[in-house]
Structure 1
Amino acid sequence: MNVRGRIATTAAAFGALLTGTVPAMVHPHVFAEARLDVVLSPDHQSIAALRHLWRFDELFSSTVLMEFDKNSDLKLDDAELKEVANTIKASLAEYNYFQMVTVDGKDVKMKAPADIVASFDNNQLIVLFEDQPQQPLRLKGKIDLGVYDPTFYTAIDFTDDTNLSVKDLPSSCNRSVIRPDPDQAIAQNQKTLTEAFFNDPTGTDMSKIFATKLELNCRPEG
């Protein structure tokens, strides 16, 4: 199955999950294939940065092209791409740029990316950005890293486990890619899922329980 087919299958399954539990209008409208590269510090004992790449579906990409092609030449020049990037940066700021970064279940604050770069390749919008933790993020305990849209409007997923990458991970850590089963995720979080979530999940932050994530489990050295 190709990348677009796998994304569509994931979206269909997610839509089926929502049927009967939340309003019908709540389902992804935009789809993107993601890649996340975790950059470690020179001593390989902490996370220095997260590098994100998102490749959006052709339908959404064509909509962006039509919206930002000010000179109507059917392509986006550097100035137009910069406007796209600035719009994305401003729009995602309040959502922590769709990032999930936790240590032992607690959210980690990240610095805003200095810049976001937008480009087009094969009629698809590509977005790149990098950011760093506000405080040193040591490789200790259980660290979860991923992306999710708390509004349920955008389905961003990693179509292959290799798209969640961390190089030179020390022997004190092991890595795994977690792809939650929707039914199990709801069952395991039933006590914390409020009526507000089922009535309107866009008003909550609980969509992260369905997100694919890279999990690093690190024990103390020595």
Structure 2
Amino acid sequence: MQQRFAVFIGAMAAGLTFATPAYVHPHVFAEARLDVSIKPDGTVEKLGHVWRFDDIFSSTVLVEFDKNADMKLDEKELTELASTINASISEYDYFQSVTLDGKQIAMGAPQHLIADFQNNQLLIIFESAPKQPLKLGKKTSFGVYDPTFYTAIDYVNDTDIHVTGVPSGCTHKVVRPDPDEAIAANQATLTDAFFNDPTGTNMSKIFATRLEIECPKG
């Protein structure tokens, strides 16, 4: 089951709150919250993620990890689930996309990843920070995306993406790309492979909902 579950989780993404092109068919859905914390000196302290998965996927996970068949996950079962999820999504940098003036920023692994069930829905909760100190630049963006197009993680409201500590003089906004406009803007860099099979091309990030912070000086 671990390999099959890794396929499910290995496809998890986020920030995709768009009308996807006809060839894209997410199979797993989650509602998300993102909290970005900025230190007083303008460096990024941490990103906090909460993902709440749809009923069908949550039920599948419950059945597969409920070793004692009591229709609930005890502490040991939740720990095993969290470990499996952690190992699976680590291969995808935890589906995080953080960029500084267009350059991808490496994120460190979370110290703790929590799996929980509330109201019969799977929750994944974790925090992460940049591997190296990251100071806000002219444009710094934060989001999550699924490189396989398998999962849609949806920020239902703009307020589900929250930031604290934005320095004076900087502005921030939530960006929800229009799919057609995103494709047109990136036409030169999109290959035939993307249009024939977008999974694994790493270009789904152009559709991802994101938080952008702009500062007058980088």
Instruction: State TM-score, norm by structure 1.
Output: 0.88
Deviation of residue 183 (structure 1)? 0.6
Partner of 1:39: 37
Are 1:76 and 2:80 counterparts? no
Question: What letter matches 1:18 in structure 2?
Answer: A
Deviation of residue 148 (structure 1)? 0.7
Partner of 1:30: 28
- Mean alpha-carbon deviation: is it higher for 194-203 or for 126-135? 194-203
**Which of structure 1's runs of 4+ aligned residues deviate more than 3 A?**
none
8 Å CA contact 1:52, 1:130 repeated in 2: yes
Q: Which has the higher contact order (CA 8 A, sep 6+)?
A: 2
Deviation of residue 167 (structure 1)? 1.3
The one of 67, 91, 100 equivalent to 1:103 is: 100
Partner of 2:6: none
The one of 84, 87, 92 equivalent to 2:89 is: 92
Question: What letter matches 1:204 in structure 2?
Answer: T
Q: 1:140-198: per-residue Cα shift (whole Å, max 9, x none)?
A: 21111011110011101211101111112111210010000011111111001111111
SS of 2:188's equivalent? coil
5+ residue gaps in structure 2?
A: 1-16
The one of 66, 71, 79 equivalent to 2:63 is: 66
The 5-angstrom pairing of residues 145-184 of structure 1 reads 145-184=142-181
8 Å CA contact 1:101, 1:108 repeated in 2: yes
Question: What letter matches 1:206 in structure 2?
Answer: M
Name the CA distance, whole Å, in 1 between partners of 2:200 and 2:136.
Answer: 32
The one of 6, 13, 18 equivalent to 2:22 is: 18
Deviation of residue 44 (structure 1)? 4.4
Count of residue pairs brought into register by the alignment:
202
Name the % identity: 60
Aligned Cα RMSD in Å?
Answer: 1.3
Question: What letter matches 1:126 in structure 2?
Answer: L
8 Å CA contact 1:44, 1:169 repeated in 2: no
Name the CA distance, whole Å, in 2 between partners of 1:132 and 1:18.
Answer: 35
Instruction: State TM-score, norm by structure 2.
Output: 0.89
Name the CA distance, whole Å, in 2 between partners of 1:178 and 1:39.
Answer: 18
The one of 201, 208, 218 equivalent to 2:215 is: 218
Name the CA distance, whole Å, in 1 between partners of 2:111 and 2:216.
Answer: 32
Question: What letter matches 1:34 in structure 2?
Answer: A
5+ residue gaps in structure 1?
A: 1-9, 20-25
